[in-house]
Amino acid sequence: MIRLEHIVKYFHKGSVNEVFALNDITLRLAEGDFVTVIGSNGAGKSTLLNCIAGSFFPDSGKIFIGAGDVTRWPEYRRAALISRVFQNPLLGTCPSATIEQNMALAALRGQKRGLGRGVKGSDRERFRTELRQLGLGLEDRLLDKVGLLSGGQRQALTMLMATMVKPEVLLLDEHIAALDPKTAGHILSLTEEIVASRGLTTMMITHNMKHAISFGNRLLMLHQGRVLLDLCGSDKKTLTVKDLLEQFYLAQGEELAMDSLLLG
């Protein structure tokens, strides 16, 4: 469970460069909710996920993850509860370590112990089984350095590593945007499979409206730091790309109407 109460975030407050990035966001995700998040460039999508992850604190409002108030928890402390996958496949894994070393570290997330004990045979078997489900042949490359993998292979490994220890919430920020269409499709089905089989509470930012409609059980549209649409159940299922585009234009249209009022 994750709950945001009246989250407000400014950047460069009080200067000429002031940005009102999140404008009073209140949101509650139930356990197992898979939420797709859309909105134009600069709408506040990444800022919302960064606030949840603790990359910075909100100016006001509260964030609850699980039972606790994590609003003032630093990022490293929240990392025990949150997994993130970014657009850049180079983030999220360590290139100079082997696949099995990367996976062993991921398996220790939230624990105080380090990698001192090394990778055991039983770990290896588990890693092989997990890698096999990616369908990329990585189960035979446990000792390869991760830096040798392609972007798509690396992103698939990152997805697996992000979910080896079940997080309270999985945050995906355009995690397929840097991949070719075929690989992107593969990572997307993998995402769906992992999220469903582990019942993960997930937020997935995408610019692809078809994906936003067809994946997950809930859809949020952000605009100028506010939640413009929040649809779930049959409202989401019956949604079309045309409906979403109309909402986008409506939002822009309101801006135009406001401008013309001001100018008039």
Ligand X SMILES: Nc1ncnc2c1ncn2[C@@H]1O[C@H](COP(=O)(O)OP(=O)(O)OP(=O)(O)O)[C@@H](O)[C@H]1O
CB of 46 to Mg ion, least distance (A): 3
Q: How far apart are CA 241 and CA 210, in angstroms?
A: 6
β-strand pairing of 202-205 with 34-38: parallel
Beta carbons within 8 Å of 186's beta carbon, 6+ residues apart: 135, 152, 156
Given the DSSP bridges, would you call strands 226-232 and 60-65 parallel, antiparallel or unpaired?
Answer: unpaired
Is 23 among the residues that bind ligand X (CB under 6 A)?
A: no
Q: Considering the complex, what minimum distance in angstroms separates the CB of residue 254 from ligand X?
A: 18
Q: Does 19 bind ligand X (CB under 6 A)?
A: yes
User: Applying CB under 5 A, what is the total number of residues that bind Mg ion?
Assistant: 1
Give the footprint of ligand X on residues 30-49 (CB under 6 A): 39, 41-47
Of 136 and 220, CB closest to ligand X: 220
Name the one range near Mg ion by CB under 5 A: 41-49, 104-112, 132-140, 141-149.
Answer: 41-49
Nearest distance from residue 205's CB to ligand X, in Å? 7
H or E stretch covering 123: helix 121-132
**In angstroms, what CA-CA distances link 120 with 123, 129, 163, 247?**
5, 15, 20, 53
Asked if 206 interacts with Mg ion (CB under 5 A), we say no
Least separation in angstroms between residue 174's CB and Mg ion is 6
Give the relative orientation of helices 99-107 and 151-162 as an angle to the nearest 10 degrees. 20
Among 11, 57, 64, 73, binds ligand X (CB under 6 A): 11
Cα dihedral: 125, 131, 135, 137 (round 10): -70
- State which of residues 9, 35, 38, 46 lies at the interface with Mg ion (CB under 5 A): 46
The reply to whether 93 sits near Mg ion by the rule CB under 5 A is no
Residue number with CB closer to ligand X (23 or 214) = 23
Q: Does 21 contact ligand X by CB under 6 A?
A: yes
What SS3 state is found at 235? helix
Stretch that binds Mg ion, among 14-22, 40-48, 126-134, 188-196 (CB under 5 A): 40-48
Q: Which is nearer to ligand X, 21 or 203 (CB)?
A: 21
Tokens representing 240? Answer: 């079309």
Tokens 């605009």 -> residue: 223
Within 156-175, which residues bind ligand X (CB under 6 A)? none
Residue with tokens 């099995």: 100
Q: Which residues of the chain form contacts with Mg ion (CB under 5 A)?
A: 46
> Which residues bind to ligand X, rule: CB under 6 A?
11, 19, 21, 39, 41-47
